[in-house]
Amino acid sequence: MAGHATKEIDAATLWGGKISPFSTSYGKLMMWFFLVSDALTFGGLLVAYGFTRHDAQDAWPIGEETFNSLPFLGHGYPLMYVALMTFILIVSSVTMVLAVEAGHRMDKRGVVKWMIATIIGGFFFVGSQAWEWYHFIHGSEFGKVELADGSQAIVKGHFGEIENFEVIEAGHHHKKGEKITEDLMHEFQYAAAGGHINGGVITLHDGTKAMINKKADEHMELIVKKDGKKYSVGDRIEGKDAEKMYYDAIYGGTANKVIYGANLEQNEYGPQQYGQFFFFITGFHGFHVFSGVIINIIIMIGVVMGIYHKRGHYEMVEKTGLYWHFVDLVWVFVFTFFYLV
């Protein structure tokens, strides 16, 4: 028995019957086991998201209203950037297929070329996701306001440009009569959230008081997301009534009447749980994509060094490809749940 315990067993015998299960290698089979377990994790998260959304269906944010920005172009482009992100990620999955195919032909140069393309696509997606997070966290120009009856409403429309703040009472950094033209939106939102705007007069960080010179808003509409005494979830208020109610809240000099952006505690776009699920699920997926990019870089270095060519196969590229296709497939479901449905 002792002799059998120390006997060297070849791979074919170890698998039994000299045939590997499913005609695949041990390494690829273990990768499949990992991906199945990871799929169950993502599946559980998306199911939890679905049940939570069902309980607050009317107040839940609509993707095309929440994600409507393009870099350098501003608002008014619903889902266009996230659609571009998705397209790039799918294209990167195609380039990964081409890298694996080149490996089957023992084409080292082809493997390197297509893996570089995959890595570029991955970096673009991760960077774009970071940009989406930035805008989600900082919110829209209008924010979400609490109306006089206690209801809360998000605001749609075109926010009129703030031209300047005209100082009427000097502070530490500004003189009376000066027209401030820098960092206007940040100062405006900070003051509005803190209750430092009263009747069109804003109090800045340094104690300066100034009149707000601002162009008129266009096509303003309030969409109620939390019930109040008069308005219920789903109610819409348009035109002059919407403008009056909005600026009564903003210019009333009361703190916490407006919420800009989202974090784990408050959310401009809808229920608090939406922000929590969005950050966790998209962050978890983004971590997978970033990990995939790093793995691709490591494996590509091995390809360049000729490690896998000397082995006579590029199985490591295949296993990396399985992981990359998985994160692409998961994103299709995340994209559908958060942005389309």
Written as one letter, the residue type at 176 is K
Give residues with Cβ within 8 angstroms of 20, minimum separation 6: 11, 12, 26, 29
Q: Note whether residue 15 is domain-resident.
A: no
**Residues 204, 102 within the same domain:** no
Structure tokens at 120: 């570029």
pLDDT value for 123: 96
The CATH number covering residue 100 comes to 1.20.120.80
With 80 as the cut, is the pLDDT of residue 12 above it? no
Q: Note whether residue 213 is domain-resident.
A: yes
Written as one letter, the residue type at 118 is T
% the chain with pLDDT above 70: 93
Q: Note whether residue 299 is domain-resident.
A: yes
**Residues 163, 255 within the same domain:** yes
Q: Note whether residue 133 is domain-resident.
A: yes
**Residues 71, 126 within the same domain:** yes
% the chain with pLDDT above 90: 50
pLDDT value for 3: 46
pLDDT digits (tens, 9 = 90+) for 150-165: 999 988 888 889 999 9
Q: Say how many domains are in the chain.
A: 2
pLDDT value for 1: 44
**Residues 226, 303 within the same domain:** no
- The Cα–Cα gap between 70 and 79 comes to 9
pLDDT value for 16: 54
DSSP string for 56-93: TTTTSPPHHHHS-EETTTEE--TTHHHHHHHHHHHHHH
Write out the residue range of the structural domain in which residue 206 sits.
144-268
Neighbours of 274 (CB within 10 A): 21
**Residues 125, 178 within the same domain:** no
Q: Note whether residue 6 is domain-resident.
A: no
Please calculate the CA angle 310-311-314 and round it to the nearest 5 degrees. 105
pLDDT value for 253: 86
Task: Report the candidate in 90, 107, 166, 17 with the shortest Cα–Cα distance to residue 309.
Answer: 107
Give residues with Cβ within 8 angstroms of 244, minimum separation 6: none
**Residues 153, 261 within the same domain:** yes
* Residue 195, helix vs strand vs coil: coil
With 80 as the cut, is the pLDDT of residue 122 above it? yes
For the chain, the straight-line distance linking the first and the last C-alpha, in angstroms and rounded, comes to 63
